[in-house]
Amino acid sequence: MLIFDAHLDLAWNAIDWNRDLRLPVAEIRRLEHEQGLTGKGRGQGTVAFPELRRGKIAVFIATLLARLLRPGAMPAVQRYSSMPAAYAAAYGQLAYYRALERDGVLHWIKDWPTLESHVQSWKRDDGTQPLGFILSMEGADPVLRPEQVQEWYDAGLRIIGPAHYGPSPYARGHNMEGGLFEQGPALLREMQRVGMILDVTHLSDQCFYEALDIYAGPILASHHNCRALVNDPRQLTDDQIKRLIARGAVIGAALDAWMMVPGWIRGETTPKRAGVKLEHVIDHIDRVCQLAGNARHAAIGTDLDGGFGREQSPMDLDTIADLQRLPELLRNRGYDQAAVEGILHGNWLGFFRDAWSAC
Ligand SMILES: [Zn+2]
């Protein structure tokens, strides 16, 4: 079955962690072991282009991730001392996707007709189709001023998540209390004006509600689980899920193990000890469906290799190609074929069809 994954930090992996994603996952792991890389996520990645192809992950949302330095917070990601440096690093990541597109590995999707024909070509898959991606920015640190959203749109960016962990220049992240910063409302209004989709993932609770009031354009939550199941501000409350459903949003369930089951202690708990399996993500998908009263708003946004590897992924997932087990797990929970197809790709396709025809 065709799969649409709404969150992969591919360029960040390729550049900051120097992974050649054209190689199979096993080869990347071997090279990192050989180099003695033992930090979190190293030597145990799960994502590369051969596995994305094998898993029929025909389309994904790929990120630009270049955050300002927040001393002590997240050294792997938050590393730039100025916004111009974050801006330049994000353009470097954009150039990575462009290079892979020129090589015929990737297909950059910026509008609905292209997305529709890409999916049609994958339905006739002969093993040569490039992997499709829609470009997103996680944390708006590389947007120098709100008026610069237009430049990013013209460069091919289609989605912005204003926050990530901690503060961004515009919004507070989920691990903070408080609302948008002074330039936050102007950023959101400019996003709406140019047709840039809003990703609410990582926003603080107050920023979430402020953003929904200010921004009237299309909204998604790219990689987000349910707070009723894992009680942490990183996840969405039932009220937030209902507000998103009312706005026609789609919510991508993530496979970051600590977000799937309660009681996870990062760096201590292991997937095996916690017994985290792929089927736990179905609990989150199912809750969104129960709150919606239908299966049209739940989907997946795995975040695999988003700064972690097998040590923080479901124990029965070796590589991203194992997402092909999700259809069976959904069917076991009573989801019919139409619902399964919707959750694995159709809901995202419908979201982008609507979002991009409204622009
Ligand atoms: Zn994230």
106-158: pLDDT as tens digits:
999 999 999 999 999 998 877 789 999 999 999 999 999 999 999 999 999 99
pLDDT at 52 over 90: yes
CA 234 to centroid of ligand 1, rounded, Å: 9
Rounded to whole angstroms, the Cα distance separating 344 from 58 reads: 11
* Residue 328 DSSP one-character state: H
List all residues 6 or more positions away from 161 whose beta carbon is below 8 Å from its beta carbon: 136, 137, 138, 139, 140, 198, 199, 200, 201, 202, 203, 222
166-185: pLDDT as tens digits:
999 999 999 999 999 999 99
> Over the chain, what is the mean pLDDT?
96
CA 78 to centroid of ligand 1, rounded, Å: 12
Which amino acid, 240? Q
175-234: pLDDT as tens digits:
999 999 999 999 999 999 999 999 999 999 999 999 999 999 999 999 999 999 999 999
**With left for phi above 0 and alpha for psi between -120 and 50, is residue 85 left, alpha or beta?**
alpha
Confidence of residue 308 (pLDDT cuts 50, 70, 90): very high
Confidence of residue 358 (pLDDT cuts 50, 70, 90): low
pLDDT at position 326, please? 98
pLDDT at position 189, please? 98
CA 301 to centroid of ligand 1, rounded, Å: 10
Q: What percent of the chain is modeled with pLDDT above 90?
A: 92
250-299: pLDDT as tens digits:
999 999 999 999 999 877 899 999 999 999 999 999 999 999 999 999 99
pLDDT at position 187, please? 98
CA 348 to centroid of ligand 1, rounded, Å: 18
CA 256 to centroid of ligand 1, rounded, Å: 10
Pair of tokens at residue 281: 């993500």
Confidence of residue 26 (pLDDT cuts 50, 70, 90): very high
Confidence of residue 359 (pLDDT cuts 50, 70, 90): low
Q: What percent of the chain is modeled with pLDDT above 70?
A: 99
Pair of tokens at residue 190: 């400019």
CA 165 to centroid of ligand 1, rounded, Å: 8
pLDDT at position 38, please? 86
pLDDT at 73 over 90: no
CA 209 to centroid of ligand 1, rounded, Å: 19
Which amino acid, 169? P
CA 336 to centroid of ligand 1, rounded, Å: 30
pLDDT at position 124, please? 87
CA 294 to centroid of ligand 1, rounded, Å: 26
Rounded to whole angstroms, the Cα distance separating 353 from 123 reads: 18
The residue assigned the tokens 């259809």 is 327
CA 116 to centroid of ligand 1, rounded, Å: 27
pLDDT at position 128, please? 84
Q: Looking at residues 300-310, what average pLDDT do you find? A: 97
Q: Looking at residues 68-84, what average pLDDT do you find? A: 86
Kind plus residue range of the DSSP H or E element containing 26: helix 25-34
Rounded to whole angstroms, the Cα distance separating 90 from 244 reads: 28
pLDDT at position 287, please? 98
Beta bridge partners of 72: none
CA 74 to centroid of ligand 1, rounded, Å: 12
